[in-house]
Structure 1
Amino acid sequence: MILPSIHFAAKQCHNQWRSSLFRTIVVIHKRQLATSGQSKKKSKTQENESLVQSTTNDQIEVATFKEKAQQAAKDTGYSMIVIAGVAALGGLCYLMLRELYSRETPNGIYKEASKMCLANTDVQDALGTPIMVHTTPQIGSMRINNVRAKMFDEKGHRSMALSFYLTGKERTGVVGVKVQKNISNKFVYDYILVQLDRPWRGRNIIRVHQNLDTSNTTPQTIDI
């Protein structure tokens, strides 16, 4: 009777051990499955986060590139405006300086001819010193008129005629000047004449300079 009881007890213990082992294996398996699932979820979440981060970075890079491109276009536009402004200002300065200092302009011929008139002894004696030079009939006139000049073509040459005024103690005079371009493209004088308001020594016109080749074309009066 004792042996069967021992056998039965051993069998019961074995069954309980198997049941406990099975439950342990099941629990471990479940934990492994849970851990594996969590790992997969975590990996998928990280992949999604990486994808989102990569997309965000790409969008930021595209936006940055667009901003840089727009800024570069603006800078280029501003640079072109500045360059155009500088070029226009340079051209204006060139024209002003040329008009002021170049001999081959009405203002240049006016300055040169006026010096020749003031240095002429007949003009000094006829008008009386000191002599004032002005471009308008009235001294100190507020009218803006630098030099009265007219450009024209004559016998295939570019010519220019201009006039200005002299005022001395005794008389006044109107100066007529005519110049013509030579083969070197420089102005040469045809004549410089001073027409007096009153005769001096029986003369109404003083010849400051006259080209002998054009003596036949010397005007008897000066067009004012």
Structure 2
Amino acid sequence: MGRRTLTRCQFPEVHTPPPAHKVKQAGKDFTYLIVVLIGLGVTGGLLYVVFQELFSSSSPSKIYGKVFERCRTHPEVIGAFGEPIKGCGETSRRGRRQQVSHVEYMKDGLEYMQLKFYIEGSEPGLRGTVHSESKENPETGKYEFRYIFVDIDTYPRRTIVIEDNR
């Protein structure tokens, strides 16, 4: 029989990267971390703005909905414009309807919001402009209407007052 020789196991050499490579990799990792954190911050900010706009009781779109509902159900407005009544914002150059025009401002430590939008009904060629101003109630934090009125833009011009608490 042949003689067996035992040899030592040879393990491959472990290559350790030089310290400069480790520093370079750590720099890359840190840069990626910063980019991810900035992305999360921007995404969080956008989500906050969207939820604030959709679910806040003081957002322009919520107040527009309340004002439009008051106009849509007011008997004098229904008599002048006919049913159904549609509301819309400003028209862009391309003919698309845009956001309802609104202005927010502070006066005597209270927030105010003015809205302006347009309505039309089933009567052909008849259009109106709705003007509204709301004031923040300091106790509840909700907006209360100061005034809501509709200007009929065609002849004979007249104004329909829906609410006036000035």
- Bin for the TM-score computed over the shorter chain: 0.7 to 0.9
Distance apart, 1:196 and its partner CA: 1.8
**Residue matched to 2:115:** 162
**Equivalent of 1:188, from 144, 147, 153?**
144
Distance apart, 1:70 and its partner CA: 2.6
**Equivalent of 2:49, from 63, 83, 95?**
95
Which ranges in structure 2 are unaligned for 5 or more consecutive residues?
A: 1-12
Distance apart, 1:163 and its partner CA: 0.6
Give the number of the structure whose alpha-carbon radius of gyration is greater.
Answer: 1
Distance apart, 1:94 and its partner CA: 1.7
**Equivalent of 1:147, from 95, 100, 104?**
100
**Residue matched to 1:119:** 73
The separation in 1 between residues aligned to 2:59 and 2:152, in whole angstroms, is 26
Give the alignment's Cα RMSD to 1 decimal.
2.7
Relative to structure 2, which stretch is displaced further, 167-176 or 152-161? 152-161
**Residue matched to 2:3:** none
Distance apart, 1:130 and its partner CA: 1.5
Superposed, 1:59-74 pairs within 5 Å as 61=16, 63=18, 65-74=19-28
Secondary structure, aligned partner of 2:57: coil
Q: How many residues align?
A: 149
State yes or no: 1:178 paired with 2:148.
Answer: no
Relative to structure 2, which stretch is displaced further, 122-131 or 66-75? 66-75
- The residue type paired with residue 155 of structure 1 is D
Distance apart, 1:179 and its partner CA: 0.5
Q: Check conservation: 1:151, 1:159, Cα contact below 8 A.
A: yes
Q: Check conservation: 1:150, 1:160, Cα contact below 8 A.
A: yes
Which whole-Å deviations, capped at 9, do the CAs of 1:141-198 have from their partners, x for residues lacking one?
326x312112223333221111101101233211101011111332111111112235
Indicate the structure with greater strand content: 2
Q: In 2 relative to 1, CA 196–69 (structure 1 residues): closer, same or farther, beyond 3 Å? A: same
- The residue type paired with residue 158 of structure 1 is E
Which ranges in structure 1 are unaligned for 5 or more consecutive residues?
A: 1-56, 215-224
Higher normalized contact order (CA 8 Å, seq sep 6+, divided by chain length): 2
- The residue type paired with residue 135 of structure 1 is G
